Amino acid sequence: MSEAPVTDNAVVGPLDIRRVMAALPHRYPMLLVDRVEEIVLNTSIRAIKAVSINEAFFQGHFPGRPIMPGVLVIEALAQAAAVLAIESFGVASSGKLVYFMGIENAKFRVPVEPGVLLVLEVDVVQMRGKVCKFAGRASVNGKLATEVGFTAMIADAPAD
């Protein structure tokens, strides 16, 4: 099990939902990445979230005008970044977790409504040890919906 990023910038993908679930501990209703189109190790990821009216949060956000909460768009970007980090560090299926450490400069441009494919693009800004800084963008039909910078850390899962 590697503790440092894989040194090359190999291209990985596409990854189906089984491979996404091998990288992330999240499950319904909190799994917000449905497919990964491409990962450039240590560099970037492009993933997809199919936004369905069946999502539990649409029942209350907002009745009569369903909009995906901005914090969940950021969570989807963070999950995509976690897949990128897990694959770059070569620790998929190891039990390692990726924890949020900070969110910076979140901007919401257009609402995310049911029935769209939310395109999640995340770039590595910096990798220092087990701490990674990312820049994320979520878009719908080519329009920027959300952009955010965030920091995360790869760590062991807490002991039971």
Q: Which residues carry out catalysis?
A: 61
User: Judging by beta carbons within 10 Å of its beta carbon (0-12, 13-18, 19+), is residue 148 exposed, middle or buried?
Assistant: buried
Amino acid identity of 156? D
Cβ–Cβ under 8 Å, residues 4 and 10: no
CA 117 – CA 119 distance, rounded (Å): 6
Query: What's the Cα-to-Cα distance from 66 to each of 109, 111, 114, rounded to whole Å?
Result: 16, 9, 7
Q: Please, what sign has the CA dihedral across residues 22, 27, 28, 32?
A: negative
d(C-alpha 105, C-alpha 92), whole Å: 29
